[in-house]
Structure 1
Amino acid sequence: MTPDTAPATHPAPPALPYGTPDTPRIAVRGEARLEVAPEIARITITVTARGKDRRETLADLTRRNTLALDLVKTYGDAVERLETSALTITPELGRHGRGERVRTHHGLVHITAELNDFTALGELTTALADLDLTRVDGPWWTLRPDSPAHRTARRQAVREAVQRAREYAEALDTTLTALVELADTGAEDTHPRAPQSTRALSRAAYGSGPTEDEPAPLDLEPQRQHVHAQVDARFTMAPPRL
């Protein structure tokens, strides 16, 4: 038989998502929504420096950055993560006159810190905001990727799917016989929540000196986190008598 005379082949039809009279199927969806306390709070710290001389600006920025980092590190195990995300030194040109003349230099360092102790968080944000030319943004509340809350939500979603399928089977005076398919269709909410207030904390007055008394620590109320899990499940059941 030549290729020109070979019989055409057709793909096999896809499996149908439903059963037969002898093996009926039930398709259900199970969901779980939990509200739990956050496990981590993230803040961003922006340290700035400004001056006419580039090297002096860089030296001032280095000093302020070291001061902020040392302050965060004093909180020990309460700080789970500390990293520098960006560093910039930018010259600002004069607006008038001929030629390119540098008027001043701006320096910025962005630091990210994650804490698991929210009492320490209030103390740290207050102390950081009391530093000259230092801005604090946040907090952003979140759960760890391996938080037990995710596992609890998934289990509850599966149990709800099984319970719902059993109720349908009982309404038909029959019982479930087997699980055919279980699909995880819901994405859990693991993204950090936006801070409750977008206002940053800072001492932005250039040349401002330290205060005589340290400010009282901020009382920060953790934002509850919402965890969602969703599954689609298909079961077979014994043929009911209709």
Structure 2
Amino acid sequence: MAEVVTKGVGRVERTADRAEVQVGFETTGSTRDEAVNALTARITGVEAALTGPGVEVRSRQLHVHDNWDGKRRSGSRATQNYVVRVDDLARLDDLLAALVTAEPSWLGGPNWQLADDSEAVREAQREAVVDARRRAEGYVQALGARLGPLHRLADGDAETWAGDSSRVMAAYGGGSPGAAPEVGRLNLEAQQITVTIRCTATWSLLD
């Protein structure tokens, strides 16, 4: 039996409802203990900003190592890196302001995400199948034949992409001591997330 094989693509957009922020703090000291103690003092206030509903620390990574100047040890360095997930976007600006005020060594984000992409995936799947069938009907019409039933459907890889999703913020160094940075003026609105589904469909070709 003759067959026609077509590929279909479905794309849908949704507004991100989750954000992820990466932040790191670094301190130095003449010894490892001194570097760690300085780091502990540095992040004490930060930990308080990372608690509460809608904010979750996904990971904490501590690194402590000696610095070397050639073959001579020249003190120690301690860093702690965080990955923070924000499910309540109303808290995002306040969280970023608190992190920037703590003067991190680096701060990156937000990276925009969908908390649940299942509905978007299902819609993109439907669009992909419709696209595959539309292509098949075009080939069948060109051949002067008829499109038969679907024989096989192969799923492609789902892709989730946020256009311009990563806005990188540098450590805050301006303003008067203790002044809260005006993070809201950076226009860090939730971005559009594009969910893409691809499929390959095999249809019978009737005379």
TM-score range, shorter chain: 0.7 to 0.9
Q: How high is the TM-score relative to the length of structure 1? A: 0.70
Structure 1 letter corresponding to 2:132? A
Equivalent position of 2:206 in the other structure? 238
Distance in 2 between residues matched to 1:183 and 1:143, nearest whole Å:
25
Distance in 2 between residues matched to 1:147 and 1:121, nearest whole Å:
24
Equivalent position of 2:38 in the other structure? 60
Q: Which string of whole-angstrom CA distances, capped at 9 and with x for unpartnered residues, describes residues 126-159 of structure 1? A: 2101114453111212334744212211121012
Equivalent residue in structure 1 for 2:155, among 170, 173, 184: 184
Structure 2 letter corresponding to 1:32? G
Alignment of 1:90-239 (within 5 A): 90-93=65-68, 100=72, 102-144=73-115, 146-169=117-140, 175-185=146-156, 187-190=157-160, 196-203=166-173, 210-211=177-178, 213-218=179-184, 219-239=187-207
Distance in 2 between residues matched to 1:121 and 1:59, nearest whole Å:
29
Equivalent position SS for 1:59: helix
Structure 2 letter corresponding to 1:54? R
Q: How high is the TM-score relative to the length of structure 2? A: 0.80
1 or 2, which has the higher strand percentage? 2
Equivalent position SS for 1:201: coil
Q: Which string of whole-angstrom CA distances, capped at 9 and with x for unpartnered residues, describes residues 62-104 of structure 1? A: 2333422221113x2x2245321x2112222456xxx84x433
Q: Which string of whole-angstrom CA distances, capped at 9 and with x for unpartnered residues, describes residues 150-184 of structure 1? A: 22111210122223334544566654332111112
In the alignment of these two chains, the number of paired residues is: 205
Equivalent position of 2:47 in the other structure? 69
Q: Which string of whole-angstrom CA distances, capped at 9 and with x for unpartnered residues, describes residues 204-226 of structure 1? A: x9xxx942x42333331223222
Q: CA deviation at 1:27?
A: 2.0
Q: Which moved more, 1:152-161 or 1:175-184?
A: 175-184
User: Aligned in 2, Cα 1:191/1:160: closer, same or farther, shift over 3 Å?
Assistant: closer
Distance in 2 between residues matched to 1:110 and 1:117, nearest whole Å:
22
Task: State whether residues 143 and 190 of structure 1, in contact with CA within 8 Å, keep that contact through their aligned partners in structure 2.
Answer: no
Structure 1 letter corresponding to 2:160? T
RMSD, matched Cα: 3.0
Identity among equivalent positions (%) equals: 25
Structure 1 letter corresponding to 2:25? V
Structure 2 letter corresponding to 1:217? V
Distance in 2 between residues matched to 1:236 and 1:159, nearest whole Å:
16
Please list every run of 5 or more consecutive structure 2 residues that lacks an aligned counterpart in the other structure: none
Q: CA deviation at 1:236?
A: 1.4
Task: State whether residues 182 and 234 of structure 1, in contact with CA within 8 Å, keep that contact through their aligned partners in structure 2.
Answer: yes
- Structure showing greater Rg: 1
Structure 2 letter corresponding to 1:176? L
Please list every run of 5 or more consecutive structure 1 residues that lacks an aligned counterpart in the other structure: 1-18
